[in-house]
Structure 1
């Protein structure tokens, strides 16, 4: 069965089109994304602005054309943090359904965490050790503690890059005092995670797509001198390598970041908050290293659809 999966994130809208076979196997035909910045000018007030609405509509129109071109038999679309938190999301969902016959299902943070886990475990081979999975979004960040037997703990926090960016409005480059303010806020908001880590100590941080793809791409380009292969399902990042990236992201201007080899332009603003968040999580969890997972929510959805079919 040919399936189209749309992930409507706060910063980007993603589409995955694949042919599913028996069990969990699938062949990816298309995997692309577009910057939407759905939460811009309204993420913390719970509203999709007119400009964001227009950008989002245009991207869904493009995705609808792709779905027709690839002749998908089934299409599923999931709205995450920005959509589930917007007071006018019903109007957006209704217009998309009416104009493109795409039914958007708004999922909870816990459902989002489930799909992320199912996606990541296909790209990263787990052992009996505990892993901390982190997906940094624009509106929310999902954190999951898991091993090869399943999930032990999960939660979703309204601490995404776009949300923190609007809340703290950093300088260019961000000032040390601002970094300290963000870190203090994270310490307060992530107390449930601190308790979970006491109960379930972890050895590795698994970064799900997004900002972690950008970290990996920059490191890989430094090492090899050419772009990272899209065929890689995961990439190991040492703590020392991340520290170099963190320093780079928090000391450069947005203009300088745009010309870094391997850097993804659509993350030019949110990457600063993502880096601060990652740095805090590394200190809190005391992991030995980072594993970047190319797979995330979309692949998790696909795996569950493959099983159910």
Structure 2
């Protein structure tokens, strides 16, 4: 009896807040779907304490290495044949980002590719298309990361516009909510909105030009908003690819986030404790986007960058 060796891929997305690992087995037939063997995420908080200073702190550096070593064990366990690892905003801008990439390679043999924001946006769009049927309507895809935020206006076939902004939730937290143990003040909310209206002028212009009719929110913050709507925290594997997020649900969640302290936020059903504070500033940002676009139809996508990479590799 001979065993056939299937190609197994591991995709690693090293985000500023969360590291993701996706392990799939590629099908023999060209058009079959890859089989997911493992899907997991770890809250590494790579940007905590240092992203606004342009460095990865020693603690965050150690957490990142530790996580990649754990990922490497899973990769060996699953007899993976190909590994693709990408790093985004935190590693892109940190003075010691290349040291981390080097240390990861020396200790795990994993080669990390640091990708620019434009490439990140493109991969996110490809990932979202695997989860959400965009059809021939123009959708505004929003991915609020810990370090950067990507906006893409696209339908099923075409990307009309895309841009990455270094205004992720960890940066916004550092700027506008430095003591997230309490309630975010109205003044801080107004300050964040004022900042966004300056920085996101290109987005406002693009919305005007391309007139998207719906919004798709991808990854972390939106997984949390979908979980809050359900009132239940789900694992990476339990999330459906696409969720309809009621406008009323977002508004309720937003009000609740704005009126609660850190301890109260952590206790809200559906919230991952490590995301509790970032979710406040991320929701202010999302509320700003809904305001400038006038869009009321919201869907969330559980797929983002790593699924985009997979889709690209399957082509």
Q: Is TM more than 0.5 here?
A: yes
In the alignment, is the contact (CA less than 8 A) between 1:170 and 1:178 conserved in 2? no
**What is residue 3 of structure 1 aligned with on the other side?**
9
Match of 1:205? 215
Show the counterpart of 2:250. Answer: 242
Indicate whether 1:136 and 2:136 are aligned: no
Give the 3 Å change call, closer, same or farther, for CA 255–231 of structure 1 in structure 2.
closer
CA RMSD between the two structures: 1.5
From 212, 224, 244, the counterpart of 1:214: 224
Aligned residues: 304
Deviation at 1:170, TM superposition (A): 4.8
Structure 2, unpaired ranges of 5+: 1-6
Which segment drifts farther, 225-234 or 161-170?
A: 225-234
Distance 1:288 1:39 in 2: 32
**TM-score, with length taken from structure 2:** 0.93
* Counterpart residue number, 1:151: 159
Contact 1:145-1:154 at 8 Å conserved across structures:
yes
- 1:272-283 aligned within 5 A: 272-283=280-291
Equivalent position SS for 1:258: helix
3-state SS of paired residue (2:269) = coil
TM-score where L is the length of structure 1: 0.95
Match of 2:22 among 16, 20, 39: 16
* Structure 2 counterpart of 1:109: 117
Shift of 1:226: 8.5
Alignment of structure 1 residues 5-84 onto 2, 5 Å: 5-21=11-27, 22-23=30-31, 25-84=33-92
- Aligned to 1:261, the other structure's residue is in SS state coil
Kept after mapping to 1: 8 A contact 2:239/2:302: no
**Aligned match of 2:203 in 188, 193, 199?**
193
Q: Report the 3-state secondary structure (helix = DSSP H, G, I; strand = E; otherwise coil) of the residue aligned with 2:140.
A: strand
Counterpart-to-counterpart distance in 2, 1:305 and 1:260: 38
Unaligned ranges ≥5, structure 1: none
Of 172, 179, 185 in structure 2, the residue corresponding to residue 175 of structure 1 is 185
> What is the SS of the residue equivalent to 2:53?
coil
Instruction: Determine the structure 2 residue equivalent to 1:95.
Output: 103
- d(CA) in 2 for partners of 1:117 and 1:218? 24
Q: 1:227 to 1:30 in 2, by over 3 A?
A: closer
